[in-house]
Structure 1
């Protein structure tokens, strides 16, 4: 009788321990899946923000050194990035995507002109510091003695936040910025 009673107690203890470990492993797997999704999107946004700044910069070679980015240019860059994300991301939702294109030009006396900011998409990207605040660290004087134009493209996407549903904590916004010196 003593042997049967001991086996029943061990089975109950095993069930309790397994449920606690199972809950911990489930949360760990959920957290890992959430992080993997965010890192994947961050990598895509990193590559696309760099490509988008290159697209904007190279337009000056086609249209001349004093070419200013227009609203149509921002629309074109937004469509290219949006279409690329649509092709590479199976669950891409354009309503959760946003873009900010910034252009900092300079006058002939090296003073900064007003910062041109073009926003696209339904998601409002938050920028920690406008390009005009960090431009002193990034400006380059060309061989012709003028300051080169600076371009920055910030892309942001609101991902699913699986961890928040379980732990009431986490983040959903993934963003990436790229700055390039114009010609």
Structure 2
């Protein structure tokens, strides 16, 4: 009888199978987590590139719209469509993409030689195609505007693109609401 008890204690064949199943489950879960994080970072990088490109388009829009010098909502909607198509071409679903474009213009320097920046409230506008707010509003970044050689403050433009996190990431990390993927790019005007 004692021999049978000793063989049951020493027989660990079943324990190896249980350990293998447990370790395999942990490894598969870890790989899924790594793939999800890589997808999240990939989409974030694509948004960074697209926001930088969109900011460049806003800066150079004088060549695209030579008869319409002021930025308007129609131009922002066209830019959003362009960004959506670029995301779709890279394999990212862009149905819930939102965008905000902010402009910051300055009044002429008065008195001449003064270094004070006065924001032109009539030309400084904000256009949105949904609920998307930048991490830092453009009005808080007034100091980024350089003074040109013609003694005027150069206008600033900020493009912010927002996209909900990938579905797999939301499924895996469903403990708390996940922040929206955001990317902002700032450029100076011409």
Band of TM-score, shorter chain? 0.7 to 0.9
Q: What's the counterpart of residue 126 of structure 2?
A: 117
After the TM superposition, which residues 119-138 of structure 1 pair with which residues of structure 2 at under 5 Å, given as runs?
119-121=128-130, 124-136=131-143, 138=144
Aligned-partner SS, 1:83: helix
Q: Show CA shifts across 1:114-165 (max 9, x none).
A: 34111114xx2232221001222x1111111101110111111113243553
| Paired residues of 1:103 and 1:150 also in contact (CA < 8 A) | yes
Unaligned runs of 5+ in 2: 110-116
Tell me by how many angstroms 1:99 deviates: 0.6
Q: In the superposition, relative to structure 1, how do residues 130 and 167 fare at CA in structure 2: closer, same or farther (>3 Å)?
A: closer
Number of residue pairs matched?
Answer: 176
| Paired residues of 1:152 and 1:180 also in contact (CA < 8 A) | yes
Q: In the superposition, relative to structure 1, how do residues 167 and 70 fare at CA in structure 2: closer, same or farther (>3 Å)?
A: closer
Cα-Cα RMSD:
2.5
Q: Show CA shifts across 1:10-49 (max 9, x none).
A: 1221122123212221221121111111111112111111
TM normalised by structure 2 equals 0.80
Q: Compare the two structures and name the one with the higher helix fraction.
A: 1
Which residue, 82, 87, 90 being the options, matches 1:88?
90
